[in-house]
Amino acid sequence: MFLPEIKEREYRFKLALRMGLPIFALMFALIFHTVITTYDNLDSIFYIESIIVLIFGIYFIFYLIYSGFESKITDDVSKVFTRTHLNKYLKKDLLKNKDYTLILISVDNLNDINNRYGIKSGDKVLYELGRWIYKYMKENSITNFPIGHVKGGDFVLGLKGTSDNYKTILELLCLKTDGLKIDDIEVKILTAMKDTTFSKDLDFLLENLFELKERNRNKKQNTEFFDEDIKPSELESYVINAIRSKQFILMKQDIYADEKVVMCECFVKLKRADGNYIHQKSYIKILNKLRLMSDYDYMVLEKSVQECNKNSDTVFAINISPTSVRDRKFFLKVKELLETYPHVKNKVMFILGEKEYYSFTQRYGEIIKNLRNLGIKISIDKFGSYHSSFLYFKEFQVDAIRLDSSYTKNIDNESNIKIIDGFCVMAKKFDTKIWMKMVENEHTYNKVKKTDIDYVQGKYLSELETIYES
């Protein structure tokens, strides 16, 4: 048992003892008074009953007081419901109400506030925001609704009815919070909303809210809705079955250098038992949740290697999760696979991209080095967008860097072109190829050709082509 748990138990026991002693004293005094005043008339059964009453009284009073401290309803900082109590409350509401809506309101810059102004200031922001939300909802004639502090800067509200009833209210809330300040601290708010037309399962609703929040982070209108035709529980089942039975479709898109095909990127859709496809945006999060990402990555890699073995001229670029790369079991399976297909050496490229920086760079670097020694080329994705991509480029020797698609979309911006030119110079210094994707038209292609970009990819040059279907 951890020291904080031991101290917590000691504190609760002492507090329960202080609260229970007066009651024990009263019970003992009553029994003692009865014994003194009516001693001659007392039956022996009275003493037995008194002892039983005292024992059970002590037990139940201690139990009720002690267990009462374990069930906290309100959060210490924000004074709204705790996550545990909110979940219980919302589950009851979901059972009672056919139509129900959850709203996520998040302080997106809470970490920055804590670092810059101190943790107490961050706590005050959470407390004041909780009050502000309640006041705003009251102004819109919405009262007595559950609100809880789920984690970090995230608050969740439960409201009866469909999301259509609250869309305007949430949009106005976003406008009101634009430039919101609490104690002269700028507070950045993100929101998301989902109702029970998506799912009646609370866990799925909450997960989807946070997924929506991430999507909304880079959008001007952060109240966008996302509709999923498949129920989350069914989607999980489809994904599990597809991985187990290796039901998927593998497609490729050619990548050009000097108007010649030098590589192709592989894309995957999972197949349901009824023959319909599950798109990547729908299943990636489920793979992570169910710890199936490594199995999925190897399944795709194995088939890609087999197809690559048939085509001796083209490098196959495959998106592989960095978590799979850092898994020793995955590495050993990759090594064994390459020993089985020795002709694919230097013809397979792993595209690696992750938002969060993996701080154990020495270990990660060794894995990257070992993969390259096996004949696997390495490319860093989302370069110029994710801070982690630049840090990895600085730490590791890689074969290529792929710029974030935002640079292609803003190709007409002169500042953007200057940044791309700077990236090209930097890549050349490190003897690394630089790569742009999503070139969708002739105008963009001509703009890219004027730069020192090595690899070009997009629908203008090549459509997706199916190379395998199970």
pLDDT tens digits in sequence order for the chain, 470 residues long: 555 556 656 766 776 667 667 777 777 777 777 777 776 666 777 677 777 777 777 777 666 666 655 567 888 898 899 898 899 999 999 999 999 999 999 999 999 999 989 999 999 999 999 999 999 999 999 988 999 999 999 999 999 999 999 999 998 998 888 888 898 899 999 999 999 988 888 988 898 898 888 877 766 444 444 444 566 677 888 899 999 999 999 999 999 998 899 999 999 999 988 888 888 877 888 898 889 999 999 999 999 998 887 766 789 999 999 999 999 999 999 999 999 998 888 999 999 999 888 888 889 999 999 999 999 999 999 998 888 898 999 999 999 999 999 999 999 999 999 999 999 999 999 999 999 999 999 999 999 999 999 999 999 999 999 998 98
Examine the domain organization and report whether 114 and 44 are in the same domain: no
- Whether residue 223 is contained in a domain is answered as no
- Domain termination residue (choose one: 216, 244, 268): 216
Examine the domain organization and report whether 303 and 439 are in the same domain: yes
pLDDT at 25: 75
pLDDT at 52: 79
Overall number of domains in the chain: 3
- Is residue 236 within 8 Å of 290, Cβ to Cβ? yes
Examine the domain organization and report whether 104 and 125 are in the same domain: yes
- Whether residue 131 is contained in a domain is answered as yes
In terms of Cβ atoms closer than 10 Å to its own Cβ (0-12, 13-18, 19+), residue 192 is buried
pLDDT at 1: 52
pLDDT at 370: 94
Examine the domain organization and report whether 148 and 62 are in the same domain: no
- Whether residue 76 is contained in a domain is answered as no
pLDDT at 352: 95
pLDDT at 226: 42
CA 430: distance to chain centroid? Answer: 34
- Whether residue 221 is contained in a domain is answered as no
pTM, two decimal places? 0.68
Examine the domain organization and report whether 349 and 313 are in the same domain: yes
Residue 469 — φ and ψ, nearest 5°? -145, 125
- Whether residue 224 is contained in a domain is answered as no
123-156 burial, b for 16+ CB within 10 Å, e for fewer? bbbbbbbbebbbebbeeeebeeebbbbbeebbbb
Pairing of strands 433-436, 400-403: parallel
What angle do the packed helices 361-374 and 387-395 form, to 10 degrees? 70
Domain that holds residue 382: 232-469
Beta bridge partners of 389: none
Examine the domain organization and report whether 250 and 179 are in the same domain: no
First to last CA, the chain: 51
Examine the domain organization and report whether 190 and 108 are in the same domain: yes
Examine the domain organization and report whether 12 and 97 are in the same domain: no
Going by C-alpha positions, the residue among 430, 381, 431 that lies closest to residue 407 is: 381
pLDDT at 234: 79
Distance, CA of 137 to CA of 230 (rounded, Å): 32
Distance, CA of 48 to CA of 292 (rounded, Å): 63
pLDDT at 396: 92
| Region label for 380, one of left (φ > 0), alpha (ψ between -120 and 50) or beta (otherwise) | beta
Residues 6 or more apart from 137 whose CB is under 8 A from it?
143, 145, 157, 169
Examine the domain organization and report whether 177 and 290 are in the same domain: no
Going by C-alpha positions, the residue among 470, 446, 164 that lies closest to residue 300 is: 470
Examine the domain organization and report whether 241 and 210 are in the same domain: no
Distance, CA of 215 to CA of 327 (rounded, Å): 28
